Structure 1
Amino acid sequence: MNWLQKACVRVRGLWRRATMKREIDEELEFHLEQCVADNIAAGMSPEEAVREARRRFGNLLRIREECHDMRGTSFGETWLQDIRFGLRMLRKNLGLTTVVALTLALGIGACTAIFSVVNAVLLRPLPYEHSERLVQLWEDPSGNGRDKNSVSAAQFADWREQTRTTEGISIIRRTSMNLTGVGRPERLNVHRVSASYLQILGIRPSLGRGFLPDEDRPGRKNVAVLTHRLWQRQFGAEPELVGREIRLAGESYTVIGILPSTPELPLECDAIVPFVFGTE
């Protein structure tokens, strides 16, 4: 009997404990009576037949317990007895009970928090197309793996021109811009990115479009793609916003697209605009 069959027997024994006990007792009694009948047929007196049958069977209590264990009934009894004993001990010592409860709560809470972080960072795949092919690049002047410095625009331009192992590469620069002209001014977290940024992530705007390939070149008109959250919060989810101009940091930007609510960008922000090479 393999482990799965044993587990099934034990689980079944928990639900049919009383019935299985009765069946075992009846089966043992039947075999004992058969042995007594055979002894009487062999010429023994009834008393001798019973005594010889019990001698041949041995300890009936031990046999009964072994049968219960094989059919899974003793497992449930032992488990329940252990629980009752533990509860009685905890009732007798409220201080110990409090310490145990707090220890369990802290342990479970810590394990849950650690698993949530590990799951989000290491186990759960990124919510983007072909996420297994996405990588993050940085500079490490020390060479020891501890420094993660941002690259300069010139260094990034060299990477983009020289790389032969990637299908696309994008830069991200975090900045802040004041949004004006729509109610109260608001300071926004804005990311300046390469024109290929959304294409690399596989994110398509729910309204409008993403950046064109040359919109991160000097001389192009200022354009912006807003997050779904900013679109709802500041503009009331107005579909006609696409194509209109807004003012960021005192300059006019044409809203060309609205990002979907999911998936969100890897780094939280309110809007993305092109990183214009040669001007920064």
Structure 2
Amino acid sequence: MSAHTAPGPQAGTTLVKLTDVSKYYGNIRALQGVSLEVTAGGITCVLGDNGAGKSTLIKIIAGLHRHDAGTFEIEGEETELANPRAALDRGIATVYQDLAVVPLMPVWRNFFLGSEPTRGRGPFRRLDVELMRETTRAELLRMGIDLRDVDQPIGTLSGGERQCVAIARAVYFGAKVLVLDEPTAALGVKQSGVVLKYVAAARDAGLGVVLITHNPHHAYLVGDRFVLLKRGTMAGSHTRDSITLDELTRQMAGGSELDELSHELERVAESGRDTSAGTPAGPPSDSASDRDDTTR
């Protein structure tokens, strides 16, 4: 995949669209009737707890799995991706939570991992190390990432910095759609903020971003659309101007189920207080009676 030099799609153009997509593994329903839209210069957040179907959705978009029902469109063309390479060729780059990096290799080597440029021919062909160093430094700076030394092992960077390198790499190699799998899950508050800053930078560069997360606060900071998944089905789909952070958090936490649980807990607490208040004082214990007899 070559570096992206041509102008990207116009902002607002639909890049990826899933309509009523379902996926089954034998008798197990992993996804059913899920729809989402990813536009150039927009961030679509997919929220859900563990087991909600987020991983299955990622695998369909990334070309790892094929959907069993519904339609999957890329730039208006209905398609089925045969493998992750086909997704990359169509401009869909996925950055997984565990990151495909080699910790002991330098930053520049990881930036070009699997796509290393060379110079010379035949037996004189070799890696173009200088080009990779300079390109890595320039592309990171363009995304606002100022690394002191691109020769340092990528394993010495913080988790947030490694995520940012992966985002810059996807942008450089011509991604139109960037899928991010829980990029802030294992990070602290400060590092999460750094990553979200570069997620917004990718959006501002014209990419369509799919942000997978279980954190509604992070999603609401950068998101334009929100798709909520629950047990493989859609629990909600909202635009930013149609939902507040409090309501998004409430729906993410369980919505009506949470209200029912709250009422149930209140009833249990009130029942406990009533029982305690209405319990008459019992007769003196045997030991107290014995003491009285001894005194007499």
Length-normalised TM-score, structure 2: 0.21
From the two aligned structures, give the one with the greater helix fraction.
1
From the two aligned structures, give the one with the greater strand fraction.
2
